[in-house]
Amino acid sequence: MAMTKKRYHRRGAKALTYTALLGPFALLFALFQLAPVLWVVINSFIYDGELTLDNYRAIWDSAFTLQSFYNSLWLSLISSLIGLIIALLLVNSLRRVDCRLRRMVISFINMSSNFSGVPLAFAFIIILGVNGSITLLLRSIGLVEEFDLYSKWGLLAIYTYFQIPLAVLLLYPAFDALKDEWQEAAQLLGASMLQYVRKVALPVLTPAIIGTFVILIANAMGAYASVYALTSGNYNVITIRIAALVSGDIFLEPNLAAAISVLLMLIMAVIVMINYTLLNRSRYAKKQ
Amino acid sequence: MQKSNNLICHRIIIGIIVLIMVLPLVATLLYSLSTRWGATILPDGLTLHWYIDLLSDPRFLWSFARSILVCAAGLALCIVVMIPVIFIVFYSLPGLKKVFNFIVVLPFAVPPVVSSVGLLQLYSDGFLPISGTFWILIFTYFTIVIPFVYRSMANSFAAVSLHDLMDAARLLGASTPQAFFKCVLPNLKKGILSAVFISFSILIGEFVFANILVGTRFETLQIYLYNTRQVSGHFTSALVIFYFAFIFLLTFIASRLGNHK
């Protein structure tokens, strides 16, 4: 009897210690990470105090909001694709050169991964703005007539710029899986470079490439600071739309912002799901 | 012969890509050092004038101090709260590791703009009206750095054999808290320090929460940078270069700490 009581007591003390140590984290995480997301999800279904789908209908009916989805998806997909290709080229070449150069480039890339948002937008205005040095250079060579940094091509340039370091840092470790001997073996067996890339290198790298691509898309879809700083919030992408609906000067519609936010998170979830299915398929292919 | 040709080819590819990545930085640096750079490809003359202007602007110095304060507070809060959590997870409740692997990806899955929609409504009034003050920044910055702090601390915990260390200390008569503070914590110093520098460079660059939740009511470095965009391009460039030099210093220290593990 006394024994069990003591054990109970001890178990109670243990539970108390766990609560005391885990509690502060759980509380802060719930208040500032979970609660905001929950608020967004619940309120996206509320309009004028009633449970309804009106917010979602409003998105569907507004060509302006739909355009923001189109713009965000376009920028994310294209910038992720270009960033990925450039990163693949760079990482592939990095593995072929001496160690010192490689280490220098990687630490530079690591640093430039912090060069994003407002400071990056200003740097772009300096070089690619109306009187930017690169714009002038290109114009004097005659390559371009007019380059509008504040259009979708300018935004594509800045998005691609901040995708490259991220892609390089994510892909670099994956290339360790490729053994140099494989290329020699393939060559000895009479495979061309293209065949080696298609039949050996790409299948091995596929999981890393898909994973990186998904992270790049999520990164671009959530990007806000660079667009905001470059266009003062005048270019229509999802994040700018959401922010304008909760903190703009004209009219605030937090519940509509919530509905757009839910759709944004859904798109990201779908992309992650596609990633998983593709990953599983590529593993299956490897097993065969 | 073909191999050396290939090597040159790879060097050229690296050179071109690095050049593209360096270009915005070099141009900003040149712009910040030039007297006037109008409609020409290269600047007219060089000066340090813009840096002197910047460093003698009290508004800049205050915003920098505010940034340091709020980032340090958020980060310190995260580290203090996370240390006991990670200890419990690794020492007594390893089943929670799976939960935490999920928790640490959540801040990535939810873009800050989405969080700020909910935060703005929840904390503008009601039981905790902290929206628009630096308190909301401290708590949101806490959520931003959770993944980085957890990852680097978890790596150090995995590197030391936690149970052996605790058993040995207890065998020598230490209580569990004593064993933790005297034997385990010193082993985590490097992991925590590198987490500090990485997290700090991320938080200093944070703009979304600062802009939407607080704005000019508590002007951080990023908000100041955005608000001074109309002053002068040269002045803004000096500010960007100053900012980047600061980030450079932080990442440099972080990589140094990482190498000497």
Identify the residue among A122, A166, A231 best suited for mutation to test binding to B, counting B beta carbons within 10 A and taking the highest: A122
pLDDT the model gives residue B77: 92
pLDDT the model gives residue B139: 92
User: Closest Cα of chain B to A180: distance in Å?
Assistant: 13
The listed range with the strongest mean pLDDT (A54-68, A141-155, A258-272, B91-105) is: A258-272
Sequence-ordered alpha helix ranges (H) in B160-232:
162-171, 176-179, 185-187, 189-204, 208-209, 221-227
Q: Which residues of A touch B7 (CB under 8 A)?
A: 96-97
Give the tens place of pLDDT for each residue, A184-238.
888 888 877 788 888 888 888 887 888 888 888 988 998 898 898 888 878 889 9
Out of B17, B111, B222, the one facing A118 most closely (by C-beta) is B222
Across chain B, what does the average pLDDT equal? 82
pLDDT the model gives residue B249: 85
Does the pLDDT value for residue B1 go beyond 50?
no
What percent of chain A shows pLDDT beyond 90?
11
Structural domain harbouring B68 = 49-259
**CA separation, residue A224 to residues A1, A159, A230, B209, B211 (Å):** 64, 11, 10, 11, 11
A206 touches chain B (CB under 8 A): no
User: Closest Cα of chain B to A175: distance in Å?
Assistant: 16
Query: With an 8 Å Cβ cutoff, are B207 and A224 in contact?
Result: yes
Residue with tokens 């080696």: A196
pLDDT the model gives residue A4: 60
Collapsed DSSP state (helix, strand, coil) of residue A50: strand
Average pLDDT over residues A241-257: 81
pLDDT the model gives residue B50: 78
Query: With an 8 Å Cβ cutoff, are B82 and A25 in contact?
Result: yes
If one looks up domain A63-287 in CATH, what number appears?
1.10.3720.10
Domain count, chain B: 2
- Give burial (CB, 10 Å; 0-12/13-18/19+) of B32: buried
Query: With an 8 Å Cβ cutoff, are B93 and A18 in contact?
Result: yes
Higher pLDDT, A285 or B250: B250
- Residue of chain B whose Cα is closest to the Cα of A268: B109
Residues in A 88-107 with any Cβ partner in B closer than 8 A:
89-90, 92-94, 96-97, 101, 105, 107
Query: With an 8 Å Cβ cutoff, are A117 and B84 in contact?
Result: no
Query: With an 8 Å Cβ cutoff, are B222 and A117 in contact?
Result: yes
Out of B27, B93, B110, the one facing A133 most closely (by C-beta) is B27
A37 touches chain B (CB under 8 A): yes
d(CA B183, CA A135): 59
Give the tens place of pLDDT for each residue, A96-141.
888 888 888 888 888 888 888 888 888 888 878 777 777 777 777 7
pLDDT the model gives residue B233: 76
Is residue B144 domain-shared with residue B254, that is, in the same domain?
yes
Is residue B26 domain-shared with residue B109, that is, in the same domain?
no
Give the tens place of pLDDT for each residue, B109-160.
788 888 888 888 888 877 777 777 788 889 999 998 888 888 888 877 777 7
User: Closest Cα of chain B to A32: distance in Å?
Assistant: 6
Cα angle vertex B127, ends B125, B131, to 5°? 40
Which residues, 6 or more positions from B22, have their beta carbon under 8 angstroms from its beta carbon? A108
A23 touches chain B (CB under 8 A): no
pLDDT the model gives residue B261: 45
Average pLDDT over residues B42-71: 81
**CA separation, residue A41 to residues A46, A110, B116, B120 (Å):** 10, 36, 13, 14
Does the pLDDT value for residue B247 go beyond 80?
yes
Is residue B10 domain-shared with residue B72, that is, in the same domain?
no
pLDDT the model gives residue A6: 63
A287 confidence band (pLDDT: 50, 70, 90): very low
d(CA B80, CA B69): 16
A251 confidence band (pLDDT: 50, 70, 90): confident
A248 touches chain B (CB under 8 A): no
Does the pLDDT value for residue B27 go beyond 80?
yes
What percent of chain A shows pLDDT beyond 70?
91
Is residue B23 domain-shared with residue B114, that is, in the same domain?
no
Give the tens place of pLDDT for each residue, B73-88.
999 999 889 888 888 8
Whole-prediction pTM: 0.84
Is residue B64 domain-shared with residue B30, that is, in the same domain?
no
Is residue B171 domain-shared with residue B104, that is, in the same domain?
yes
Is residue B76 domain-shared with residue B24, that is, in the same domain?
no
A13 touches chain B (CB under 8 A): no
Does the pLDDT value for residue A77 go beyond 90?
yes
Higher pLDDT, B230 or B72: B72
pLDDT the model gives residue A288: 40
Query: With an 8 Å Cβ cutoff, are A118 and B225 in contact?
Result: yes
- Residue of chain A whose Cα is closest to the Cα of B81: A25
Is residue B42 domain-shared with residue B53, that is, in the same domain?
no
- Residue of chain B whose Cα is closest to the Cα of A17: B88
Amino acid in position B120: L
State the CATH number of the domain containing residue B204.
1.10.3720.10
Is residue B188 domain-shared with residue B176, that is, in the same domain?
yes
Is residue B35 domain-shared with residue B121, that is, in the same domain?
no
Instruction: State ipTM.
Output: 0.83
Is residue B102 domain-shared with residue B227, that is, in the same domain?
yes
Q: Which residues of B touch A269 (CB under 8 A)?
A: 109
The listed range with the strongest mean pLDDT (A51-55, A63-67, A262-266, B120-124) is: A262-266
Q: Which residues of B touch A107 (CB under 8 A)?
A: 255
- Residue of chain B whose Cα is closest to the Cα of A220: B111
Q: Which residues of A touch B228 (CB under 8 A)?
A: none
- Give burial (CB, 10 Å; 0-12/13-18/19+) of A110: middle
Is residue B40 domain-shared with residue B153, that is, in the same domain?
no
